[in-house]
Amino acid sequence: MIGTALIGTGHLVRLALRRDRILLPIWILFLVGITYSTTTALEELYKTPESRALLGVTANANSAFLAMLGPLHDTSSLGGLVAWRWGVFSGLFIAIMAMLVVTRHTRAEEEAGRTELISATVVGRHAPLAAAVIVAGGTSLLIGVLQALALIGKDLDATGAFAFGLSTASVGLVFTGVSAFTAQLSENSRVSNAIAGGFLGVTYLFRAAGDAAGESGPQWLTWFSPIGWTEHVRSFGDDRFWVLGISLAAFVLLVGVSAYVVTRRDVGLGLLATRLGPAGGTIGTPFGLAWRLQKGSLIGWSLALLVVGTIYGSVAQAVGQMVQDNPALGQIVQQIGGADAMVDAFFATITQMLGLITSIYLVQAVLRLRSEETSFRAEPLLATPVSRWGWVASHAVFALAGGAVVLASAGLGLGLVHGLRTDDLGTVLPQMLGAALVQLPAAWVIAGVALALFGLFPQFTGVSWAVVSVSLVITLLGPALQLDQWIIDVAPFTHVPKYPDIVAGPLLWLTGVAAVLLAAGFAGFRRRDLTT
């Protein structure tokens, strides 16, 4: 029974590898390459045991670091530093890889009607899902092993190296399972990815909130996150391989449930059923249509960042507490400027991170234009009296104003909770709204790049995602990797004033840059051929 259900899996695996022959090697190269280069950079920076120990004390006292990267468990070797600096992000990136690959070969294929074509040949019912799981899971394992070999190549302890590599692979496996499941839920691959991505975001935040306040905080939260599990492996420290059993169990369970759902549903349909809708409509403007298409994403992002904001807002006080509880840190903290300065630095880092995340929403809102165009849905619209500018503006407003709404929600979450906990809502709330909203001009610049690409070089709009990723990596890792200043300066978020020292200058010129890019995008689209 199972045997026939899997017939043709091999062919489908080869088909998937053929389709992804560029994408997968890039992911592998990226995840292994950064492992190697991070090790090299940290080796240069922290040569002596003393310097590593000092880093350990400061890193574990800095809640912004803790929230972003997790605790630094072991400073006795270089490996511990690598695991701390890169482990969480390595997991984050491999999760995105697994998610995109699985959805691309399951729900997206089904949505496009190609699964129907394939299923009519000698291909078992489970073969498409099995092939996607094999490709994504196999790539995850390969990346894990190569990461381990890269670390061993840098003369690090082999056990620790494999603990690290397999930790990364385990996150890839869990998210292979998560996406295999979300692909069964909706008929729409965009929704599948959104649900899986939302799960990734929420579980990342669980671990961030759990870590942010060190031992004073709710550390148990990290056990609810697949990325949190990798921290508990403590690579290059205790090397607790048993923790990886949890990931493996989650993977098996998720794939099993997904395979069961496959046998219970029709090809092309999801578990979430489609209902009949209204026979007539009230939408009568391009903006009305854009609102209909974009509101789900806008509301989802705003709610998500509101929740994120409340989580971080609730941790902030513990950050100050952590410092006071730890006399050993006293001196360092005094140098930085006391407990209040620690809390300020925490908010500065958090709001910057929220700004970076929001730029993903902005780019997604802008790229809706391109997907509307290439799916030929823009054509009948632009054959009505709707002008090209009007159509572009109807979507761009979701990036520009929608981005403000998303960031304000984050600021609201931060300010409300931190304000209530410190009994100073009147001061804290406006401060936090401001700290979140100052990120907006930098996010606009990234949206501007996306719109300029759409208007001037439409076939390269996908490069916008590379721009988002590069700006993320430069902003978060650039200073630690000691990149050249000019590279760091390229990322727009570098120039956002750090809370609480808000100055208008950089905000104005960032807005100016964004305006120029947007204008170029508008003008370019007005002059170019529609893609047909």
Partner 1 sequence: MTSAISVSGLVKTFGPTRALDDLDLNVQTGEVHGFLGPNGAGKSTTIRILLGLLRADSGTARLLGGDPWKDTAALHRRLAYVPGDVNLWPNLTGGEVIDLLGRLRGGLRKQRREELLERFELDPRKKGRTYSKGNRQKVALVAALSSDVELLILDEPTSGLDPLMEAVFQDCINDERERGRTVLLSSHILAEVEALCDRVSIIRNGHCVETGTLADLRHLTRTSISAELAGPPNGLANLDGVHDLVAEGNRVKFEVDSDKLDLALKQLVSSGVRTLTSQPPTLEELFLRHYEDAK
* Alpha-carbon distance values, 271 to 181, 186, 262, 460, 466 (Å): 11, 6, 10, 35, 33
Closest separation in Å from C-beta 397 to partner 1: 18
In one-letter notation, the amino acid at residue 471 is S
Q: Is 456 in the site for partner 1 (CB under 8 A)?
A: no
Q: Is 274 in the site for partner 1 (CB under 8 A)?
A: yes
Q: Is 295 in the site for partner 1 (CB under 8 A)?
A: no
Q: Is 381 in the site for partner 1 (CB under 8 A)?
A: yes
Q: Is 376 in the site for partner 1 (CB under 8 A)?
A: yes
Stretch that binds partner 1, among 307-315, 361-369, 376-384, 414-422 (CB under 8 A): 376-384
Closest Cα to residue 418, out of 439, 437, 405, 435?
Answer: 435
Q: Under DSSP, is residue 310 helix (H, G, I), strand (E, B) or coil?
A: helix
- For 420-447, give one letter per residue: b (16+ CB within 10 A) or e: ebeeeeeebbebbbebbbbbbbbbbbbb
- Check: CB of residue 315 under 8 Å from CB of residue 67: yes
- The single residue among 51, 76, 285, 427 that binds partner 1, judged by CB under 8 A, is 285
The CA dihedral of 137, 138, 144, 145, to the nearest 10 degrees, is 160
CA–chain centroid gap for 175, Å, is 13
Strands (E), 85-231: none
CB of 501 or CB of 529, closer to partner 1: 529
Q: Is 293 in the site for partner 1 (CB under 8 A)?
A: yes
Per DSSP, the residues of 28-94 read HHHHHHHHHHHHHHHHHH--SHHHHHHHHHHHHH-HHHHHHH------SSHHHHHHHHHHHHHHHHH
Stretch that binds partner 1, among 62-70, 91-99, 280-288, 308-316 (CB under 8 A): 280-288
Q: To which residue do tokens 């997904």 refer?
A: 258
CB of 224 or CB of 376, closer to partner 1: 376
The pair of three-digit structure tokens given for residue 519, joined into one six-digit string = 């204008």
CB of 215 or CB of 379, closer to partner 1: 379
Stretch that binds partner 1, among 192-200, 274-282, 355-363, 490-498 (CB under 8 A): 274-282
Closest separation in Å from C-beta 290 to partner 1: 11
Q: Is 426 in the site for partner 1 (CB under 8 A)?
A: no
Closest Cα to residue 236, out of 7, 14, 75, 414?
Answer: 75
Stretch that binds partner 1, among 9-17, 164-172, 211-219, 281-289 (CB under 8 A): 281-289
- Check: CB of residue 124 under 8 Å from CB of residue 6: yes
- The single residue among 25, 155, 377, 457 that binds partner 1, judged by CB under 8 A, is 377
Distance (Å, rounded) from C-alpha 9 to C-alpha 306?
A: 43
Q: Under DSSP, is residue 281 helix (H, G, I), strand (E, B) or coil?
A: coil
Q: Is 284 in the site for partner 1 (CB under 8 A)?
A: yes
Q: Is 266 in the site for partner 1 (CB under 8 A)?
A: no
Closest separation in Å from C-beta 75 to partner 1: 53
- Check: CB of residue 332 under 8 Å from CB of residue 403: no
In one-letter notation, the amino acid at residue 371 is S
Closest separation in Å from C-beta 190 to partner 1: 9
CB of 282 or CB of 331, closer to partner 1: 282
- Check: CB of residue 270 under 8 Å from CB of residue 186: yes
Around Cβ 370, how many Cβ atoms within 10 Å? Answer: 21
Residue 383-402 contact track with partner 1, rule CB under 8 A, x = bound: xxxxxx--------------
CB of 266 or CB of 501, closer to partner 1: 266
Distance (Å, rounded) from C-alpha 209 to C-alpha 225?
A: 11
- The single residue among 278, 327, 426, 505 that binds partner 1, judged by CB under 8 A, is 278
Stretch that binds partner 1, among 140-148, 231-239, 380-388, 497-505 (CB under 8 A): 380-388
Q: Is 273 in the site for partner 1 (CB under 8 A)?
A: no
The pair of three-digit structure tokens given for residue 153, joined into one six-digit string = 């190549």
Q: Under DSSP, is residue 409 helix (H, G, I), strand (E, B) or coil?
A: helix
- The single residue among 2, 279, 328, 504 that binds partner 1, judged by CB under 8 A, is 279
Stretch that binds partner 1, among 269-277, 452-460, 477-485, 508-516 (CB under 8 A): 269-277
Stretch that binds partner 1, among 71-79, 119-127, 371-379, 466-474 (CB under 8 A): 371-379
- Check: CB of residue 354 under 8 Å from CB of residue 439: yes
In one-letter notation, the amino acid at residue 155 is D
Among positions 153-192, residues that touch partner 1 (CB under 8 A) are 187-188
Closest separation in Å from C-beta 103 to partner 1: 16
Closest separation in Å from C-beta 375 to partner 1: 5
Stretch that binds partner 1, among 193-201, 286-294, 311-319, 414-422 (CB under 8 A): 286-294
How many chain residues interact with partner 1 (CB under 8 A)? 36
CB of 224 or CB of 460, closer to partner 1: 460
Interface residues with partner 1 (CB under 8 A) are 187-188, 274, 276-286, 288-289, 292-293, 375-377, 379-388, 527-530, 532
